[in-house]
Structure 1
Amino acid sequence: MYLASLERLALGSRLKALSDQFYGAADEVYRALGAPIESRWLPVLRYLWDTGPSSVTDVADAIGQTHSAVSQLTAKLVRAGMVRRRRDPGDGRRTVLTLTDKAQAALAGLGPIWCAVRRGVNASLGDQASRLLEAVAACEDALRDRPVAAAILAEHTTIVATPLEIVPYAPALREHFYRLNAQWLERHFRIEDVDRAVLGDPERYILRPGGAIFFARLGEDVIGTCALLQESPGVFELTKMGVDETFRGLGAGKRLLDACIAEFHRRGGHRLFLESNSRLTTALRMYEKAGFVMQPTIRPGSHYERADVYMIYQPQA
């Protein structure tokens, strides 16, 4: 499932999709059994049934929805003949919501259906039903203590204030070389045999032949990598660049590219090239700005099936 791959980034969308499934199932059951309500009405109707006449504010606070959302739902319930508005006998300035006789009769007949809902959810989800309810309750408690928007904004402030570092290869970073490259390869293409070999043993295929590997690090997070592979004395390939999509927009790719070009010059290289794919338009623009020039044909003897772009570094004099 695509949304699952986005993890926390799409948490709201996943919960919305899950909520829609439960709403849809309940509505299907209500229709099949002739119950005159809709699933989205239940929180308001059940609260008024259990508590008695209440204001929109009271209902909203109790069921965890906004005042606007409850007001809109109330309007639908009034049109459906399930709820009416009236003045609070104890405070004439205050309007309360109360169930109509129609709603009272409808809810009174739903006992067997609600029992079937509880049993059906348990039959469908098994132990996951209890775990889900516990997790939802824990999330509700956590969000009351620290609203998620405030937490996200605080983390964003920390991220933009954290300096981006470019560091050389170290054995402890080896797994990130594979992870970062595999991430974009699997997203856009596939991991070819040559990728698998190089990514699995960068010391053998890049470092020992005279190459270099750099990483972009943001605090404790390793967010990007790029390699300089020496093909022959003085001839280098810019290769294996990957930036974690979660951290794009921080300039990590440009910083890594600059580090590799600087290392190429430091080693006295006389030719630097790269292979890429025409679909990667953002990366190609970055390479062109750095001084790489598009060649009319693909590189003779290219190792990559996906390569349809060949560029050579030609710095401005």
Structure 2
Amino acid sequence: MEFFNRVGKLALGSRLRMLTERITDDAAQIYKLYNIELQPKWFPVFYVLSQGENKTITAIAKEIGHSHPSVSKIITEMSDKGYVTERKDKADGRTNIVSLSPKGKTITEKIAVQYTDVNNAIEEILAQTRHDLWQAIEEWEFLLEQKNLLRRVHEQKKKRESRKVKIVDYQPKYQKAFRDLNEEWISKYFKMEEADYKALDNPKGYILKNGGHIYVALYDDVPVGVCALIKMDDPVYDFELAKMAVSPRAQGKNIGYLLGQAVIKKAKSLGASKLYLESNTILVPAINLYHKLGFQKVVGHATPYERCNIQMELTLK
């Protein structure tokens, strides 16, 4: 176990697989000890059928948590050995009904004492341990059902990479990035409009001199995201969150959320009570981001953009 002690939890899957292989090898020998010709991998299917109810492959797969192809393969192997029989369902000729054959039923009678001895042996092991493996497995299964390991690792990756992101104030040297990043996503889904050119070609005059603000996200000191806070001449809304863009090559690093938070924080510091934004519902990740930031859908506000089909607001006070 020196390897696992050195590598630690990174080798969890390998260690569990080794433990599973060890138990499975013992299980094969245990069947031989009781003169029962079963393979360990057949046991879940055999046990379900041994309860006396005929079942479809789909029903078996659902009950034991295996895939349909996996159960189908086991049924074929057991059928070849004469332990199960299959027949067409009278109600649905496309479905096979599986049951234990007379040979399979004889195993049910022989295996009862094996069940008792195996259960007692496992209870003995559990009594000698400080941690209840059975309960631990149940906890892990529950937690992974809520959020699998892949998703958890993805979240950790995003957290780690987001720590390398720096949100900085706009400077003239970032004007090209501000324009290019926005033009890239707009042109991909829609077309550039007059209001786009006003903001992107002259951010200083259109946004900054009018009381607005622009933030730039740097990753490894390269501008990969931008977002603007544009002052509005409106009786309801103080500012508009606009011109948010993140390079496709830098997505998945929480950059949009960090930019949004920076803009919201700035709006609060300026005494704003409500923020406004416009978007399009085909931009699903963007809409999800806005909801995450706290924006809610509103209707009825005038818009200069043809592409706008959703308007949202965020109450700050």
TM-score when scaled to structure 1? 0.48
